[in-house]
């Protein structure tokens, strides 16, 4: 027993997190997971799915004195798929949880695809550059939107437009396509029994990718898409959520968002905002805080457009994270994305 309880150092932090979430019950685990980012959810969920034969000593180490009763449990690896599904559905809602669940529970069969998410975007671009555009589009659809945008940025304008349109019109990807992707990434298929179909891409995902481009590149890409297919371009545009759309967030949501954003970032972001949005922001601050913000804005000298856009994207990322967690409700155009 002394050997088992030598210390917690033998457990990686991600393993400790997985053991904790597997031990505290579905409701408590869901409450914790509401505060995780999509990438954190993916990572810890995958670890939970891979946990088996968890030693009671390890549970005791992780939980310490708070969860002593859980130290007697020995079957944490049993039925984890159902547990993970229930936890994620309670944390995110059934519709939003479905994609995360699919990614987590497919990870043992699509390790190649899973590995792409942790690769440098330039390396991903180089890996897929010689593949057929439809294969490239499927791979991009498996990435996170911000990563997919960085990968797309490595392609010429014409190819970028074609790939985004393929992503927007994509629906179910069959098992043979997923097998092909694993061959590309790993050289050979590492698993079997892939599902008959898997939902990737779509107009919503294309809009999320577009949200991660700089304004100039975003507008150029949208113009190209509309030239090729105006109807598709309009559908993508309708689902995009830009900084100006914060006007449509209710006052309670704006107040919650402001608590999560630093004043320095807010000042930069508002440098290019119109009077209506500024009024919305000032109207949801205390008189003192509003005065300080106005003073900071007036004192702020000329800034680079790229710095303003980066600040706005940072605030939008916080807004989307809070919307995904159910903490705020975005405007009508953004709600369709959630």
- Would you say residue 163 has pLDDT above 90? yes
Q: Is 7 left (phi over 0), alpha (psi -120 to 50) or beta?
A: left
pLDDT at 152 over 50: yes
What pLDDT was estimated at residue 162?
93
> In the block, which residue shows the tokens 């990563």?
147
What φ, ψ does residue 229 adopt, rounded to 5°?
-155, 95
Asked which of 103-117, 181-195, 310-324 is least confident by mean pLDDT, the reply is: 181-195
Share of the chain above pLDDT 90, in %: 14
Structure tokens at 27: 């409701």
Cα distance between residue 314 and residue 209, in whole Å? 15
C-alpha distances out from residue 43 to 13, 55, 157, 198, Å: 11, 21, 33, 20
| Residue partners of 56: CB distance under 8 A and separation at least 6 | 71, 72, 73, 74
Q: Which two tokens stand for residue 298?
A: 């007036």
Calculate helix-pair angle for 251-259, 275-282, nearest 10 degrees.
80
pLDDT (0 to 100) of residue 164: 93
- The model's confidence at residue 65, banded by pLDDT at 50, 70 and 90, is very low
Three-class DSSP category at 198? strand
Please give the residue that has the higher pLDDT: either 188 or 216.
Answer: 216
Q: pLDDT, tens digit, for every residue of 90-107?
A: 665 665 556 555 555 544
DSSP state, residue 36: S
Note the pLDDT of residue 43.
Answer: 79
Segments in 80-214 forming alpha helices (H): 80-92, 94-105, 111-116, 121-128, 133-142, 145-152, 157-168, 175-186, 203-210
Q: Is a pLDDT exceeding 50 seen at residue 334? A: no
**What would the DSSP string read from start to end of 271-323?**
TT--HHHHHHHHTTS-HHHHHHHHHHHHH-----HHHHHHHHHHHHHHHHHHH
Picking from 115, 113, 230, the residue whose alpha carbon sits closest to that of residue 173 is 113
Q: Which of 18-22, 192-196, 262-266, 300-304 has the largest mean confidence?
A: 262-266
Residue 282: is its pLDDT beyond 50? yes
Q: What is residue 98's predicted lDDT score, i.e. its pLDDT?
A: 60
Residue with the larger pLDDT of the pair 183 and 243: 243
Q: In this model, does residue 109 exceed pLDDT 50? A: no
Q: Which pLDDT value is given to residue 72?
A: 38
pLDDT of residue 255: 92
At residue 224, the pLDDT reads 92
Which residues contact residue 77 at a Cβ distance below 8 angstroms, ignoring those fewer than 6 apart?
51, 52, 53, 54
What is the pLDDT at residue 337? 38
pLDDT at 295 over 70: yes
Sorted by where each starts, the structural domains of the chain and their CATH numbers stand as 8-105 (no CATH), 112-239 (1.10.220.30), 243-335 (1.10.220.30)
Kindly give, in sequence order, each residue whose CB lies less than 8 Å from that of residue 230, ignoring residues fewer than 6 positions away. none
H/E element holding 172? strand 172-174
- pLDDT of 6 > 60? The answer is no
**Spatial separation of the C-alpha atoms in residues 80 and 249, rounded to whole Å:** 38
CA within 13 Å, CB half, 151: 29
Q: Between 338 and 201, where is the model more confident?
A: 201
Task: Identify any residues that bridge with 172 across adjacent strands, giving them in sequence order.
Answer: 199
**Contact assessment for residue 152 and residue 215, using Cβ atoms and an 8 Å cutoff:** no
Going by pLDDT thresholds of 50, 70 and 90, the confidence category of residue 118 is low
The pLDDT, as a whole number, for residue 234 is 85
Overall average pLDDT of the 129-137 stretch: 86
Residue 337: how many CB atoms within 10 A of its CB? 20
Largest CA distance in the chain: 70
> Mean pLDDT lowest for which of 159-163, 241-245, 284-288?
241-245
Q: Residue 4: its pLDDT value, please?
A: 40
State the pLDDT at residue 194.
Answer: 36
pLDDT tens-digit series, residues 254-270: 999 999 998 889 999 99
Q: Which of 5-14, 71-80, 135-144, 322-331 has the highest mean pLDDT?
A: 135-144
């Amino acid at each position: 027993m002394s050997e088992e309880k030598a210390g917690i150092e033998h457990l990686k932090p991600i393993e400790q997190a997985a053991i904790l979430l597997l031990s505290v019950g579905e409701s408590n685990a869901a409450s914790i997971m509401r505060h995780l980012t999509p990438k954190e959810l993916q990572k810890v969920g995958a670890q939970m799915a891979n946990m088996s034969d968890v030693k009671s000593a390890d549970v005791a180490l992780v939980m310490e004195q708070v969860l002593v009763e859980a130290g007697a449990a020995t079957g944490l690896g049993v039925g984890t798929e159902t547990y993970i599904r229930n936890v994620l559905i309670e944390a995110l809602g059934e519709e939003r949880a479905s994609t995360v669940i699919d990614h987590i529970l497919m990870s043992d069969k699509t390790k190649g695809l899973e590995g792409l998410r942790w690769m440098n975007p330039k390396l991903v671009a180089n890996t897929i550059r010689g593949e057929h555009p439809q294969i490239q589009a499927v791979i991009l659809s498996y990435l996170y939107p911000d990563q997919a945008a960085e990968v797309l940025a490595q392609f010429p304008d014409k190819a970028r437009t074609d790939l985004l349109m393929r992503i927007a019109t994509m629906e179910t990807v069959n098992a043979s396509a997923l097998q092909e992707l694993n061959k590309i990434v790993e050289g050979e298929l590492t698993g079997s029994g892939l599902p008959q179909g898997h939902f990737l891409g779509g107009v919503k995902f294309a809009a999320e990718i577009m949200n991660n481009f700089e304004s100039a590149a975003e507008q150029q890409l949208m113009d190209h898409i509309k030239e090729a297919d105006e109807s598709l371009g309009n559908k993508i545009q309708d689902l995009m959520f830009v900084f100006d759309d914060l006007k449509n967030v209710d006052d309670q949501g704006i107040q919650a968002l402001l608590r999560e954003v630093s004043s320095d970032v807010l000042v930069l972001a508002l440098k290019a905002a119109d009077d209506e949005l500024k009024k919305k922001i000032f109207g949801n601050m205390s008189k003192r805080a509003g005065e300080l913000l106005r003073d900071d804005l007036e004192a702020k000298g000329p800034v680079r457009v790229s710095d303003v856009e980066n600040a706005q994207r940072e605030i939008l990322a916080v807004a989307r994270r809070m919307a995904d967690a159910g903490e705020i409700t975005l405007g009508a155009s953004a709600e369709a994305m959630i």
